[in-house]
Amino acid sequence: MMSKGSGIDKRQREYIDPVKIIYKTEDVENAEILLGNAPVQPVFANMSYCLMKKGSSVILDFGRELNGSVRLITHYIEGRSKTAALRIRFGESVSESMAELGEKNAGNNHTARDIMFIAAAMGAAEYGETGFRFIKIDVINDVTVQFQKIHAVYIHDTAQMVGSFACDDPLLNRVWQTGAYTVHLNMQNYIFDGIKRDRLVWIGDMHPEVSTICSVYGEHESVYQSLDFVRDGTPADQWMNNIPTYSMWWLIIQYDWYMQNGNLEYLNEQRQYITDLINNAAKWIAAYKITRDFDRFVDWSSHLTECADAGVMAIFILGFQAAKNIFKLYSDEAMALKCEYTIASLTNRTYPYAKNKQIAALASLSGIADSEKVYDEILSKDLLHGLSTFLGYYTLLAMGKAGKHKDALSIIRGYWGGMLKMGATSFWEDFDLAWTKNAFRIDELPVEGKDDIHGDFGKFCYTQFRHSLCHGWASGPTPFLSHCIMGVKILESGCKKVKITPQMCDLKWLKGAYPTPYGSIEIEHCCDKKGKIFSKIKAPDEVEVLW
């Protein structure tokens, strides 16, 4: 554990070569060497080098979003100075790697993306740690630099994927994999939300990420560390991350995590904190303070709108439902009854939600509103618009609850697939299909007369280049496809009993795996011409499967 003091960094370091030269000035010689198989250690032997001099620049594409740094291997440096003054700019898009500080909100926010440094001859040095796919390197002083190699240092968790999903629609397969990869990039000992921005643990943002981890990896230490880290930093009479709904998300994660992994010993360790948290929250609810006296943040799509109150109510209901289930495990009937009374009190309050799909979805999932009515009147309208990458997961779940799985797949294909069409290799902090109408892709140089999908859009704290293009909260389609399409529903803690009810919609076949503490459940579904589903399921002996 690394929550306090020093500790061992268990992450893996991997050297990644660039796959493409996006841009170079005419005076760069032998640039193609940077794409080759040069040694990763400085050498004495004569070999060809990439030559860059004052004013030279090159933009490299590493093929996919990475968390890490850049490593430069230099040979000789010729000029009055024996060291080279270099500038490196990291970018999640090509245009971000080209931006000056302050241009379209480009900045060194939380992780440095635009830095100056000195490189020495016969050296191999690393610079920066952030989220990026592209780098631009400029030579500043009057020297000629011989570059032997430039590669990314990919720093990542060593977890191996246990869960899987594959079907006859390649786009859905890409979406599932991209969601899994997005979260994997954010598993950095603790669970981050966006690797190019702050390295804080945002517990509410973590719920979609933990749902993805459950579907892809099963049990993982980073979840325990993150849950404990936020708990230890937040007295039970205060709110996690200073956001009341985030304390409720912590409760929801605790119960979901228990159902996935069955670790009752860990859940028992939370007993006093959960009791104190619920007692404090119940007092606030009884005094009607949760819609008056604190931050009513649910997600950015509803921020500062009249719908936020309904979202707060829904999340508090979901949080108290999780707590009630936990207290029953503790055999604490008094606290379970307190949760039940509080849920009834919240359910009797009415707040508008019709103007926001995400809030309407939460209302459906929490029981505030009828799921079919929410679908008919709100979620079905203008299917691919009015969505958010964060609470879009719950929009999918609400559509599944209403039995509209086919429309949910249409949203995944159109909305999350829309990011892939714009060059995404990880899912973004926010996205709107309207942004794509006249925009160039993130892996293209700026095109005159077209919009910059990265630099020209965004809202609130994520305008323009501050916008994160790798945000774990956007991974919701991955657990949705595993649970609601492949059909895995956990009935008993630790996956000791599961029910598998596939929703094939327009798919002809589907196969995958779902992690359990005893090994993975291997699942295959196929449809005949009449739509009848045939399934083949192989599960560990400890897991009872209903289907």
Q: Could you give all domains of the chain from N- to C-terminal order, each with its CATH number?
A: 12-156 (2.60.120.260), 164-429+468-489 (1.50.10.10), 490-546 (no CATH)
Residue 108, C-beta contacts closer than 8 angstroms, at least 6 positions apart: 101, 114, 115
pLDDT at 315 over 80: yes
Q: Is the pLDDT reported for residue 476 higher than 70?
A: yes
Compute the average pLDDT of residues 193-207: 95
> Which is higher by pLDDT, 246 or 350?
246
Asked if residue 153 lies in contact with residue 71, where contact means CB atoms within 8 angstroms, the answer is yes
The residue to which tokens 């991997």 are assigned? 14
3-class SS at 355? coil
Residue with tokens 């159902």: 259
CA distance 212 to 199: 19
DSSP state of 413: I
Mean pLDDT of all residues belonging to the chain:
95
Q: Which of 180, 163, 173 is nearest to 507 (CA)?
A: 173
Tokens 């589907």 -> residue: 510
**Average of per-residue pLDDT across 272-279:** 99
pLDDT for the residue 290: 61
The sign of the dihedral angle between the CA atoms of 177, 225, 233, 309 is positive
Angle at which helix 308-329 crosses helix 333-347, to 10 degrees, equals 160
SS3 state of residue 277 = helix
Q: CB of 244 within 8 A of CB of 295?
A: yes
Residue 1: predicted pLDDT: 43
Name the least confident of 279-288, 300-309, 494-503, 506-515. 300-309
How far apart CA 262 and CA 380 sit, in angstroms, is 37
Burial 408-443 (b: 16+ CB within 10 A, else e): bbbbbbbbbbbbeebbbbbbbbbbbeebbeebbbbb
For the chain, how far is it from start to end, CA to CA, in angstroms? 39
Average pLDDT over residues 221-248: 97
**pLDDT grade for 351, boundaries at 50, 70 and 90:** confident
Nearest to 167 by CA among 423, 450, 533: 533
Q: Are 356 and 304 in contact (CB under 8 A)?
A: no
Q: What is the pLDDT of residue 38?
A: 87
Nearest to 480 by CA among 455, 446, 505: 505
pLDDT surpasses 80 at 291: no
Q: How many CB atoms lie within 10 A of CB 367?
A: 15
List all residues 6 or more positions away from 120 whose beta carbon is below 8 Å from its beta carbon.
74, 77, 82, 83, 84
Given pLDDT bands bounded at 50, 70 and 90, which one contains residue 2? Answer: very low
Sign of the CA dihedral 410, 414, 415, 416?
Answer: positive
pLDDT on residue 8: 86
Q: Which residue type, as a one-letter code, is found at position 85?
A: A
- What is the predicted pLDDT for the residue at 354? 78
* pLDDT tens digits, one per residue of 421-444: 999 999 999 999 999 999 999 999
Specify the pTM. Answer: 0.96
Residue type, 506: D
- Listed in sequence order, the residues at least 6 apart from 472 whose beta carbon sits closer than 8 Å to its beta carbon are 182, 183, 185, 186, 191, 192, 193, 194, 205, 206, 208, 209, 212
For β-strands 497-500 and 544-546, DSSP reports them as parallel
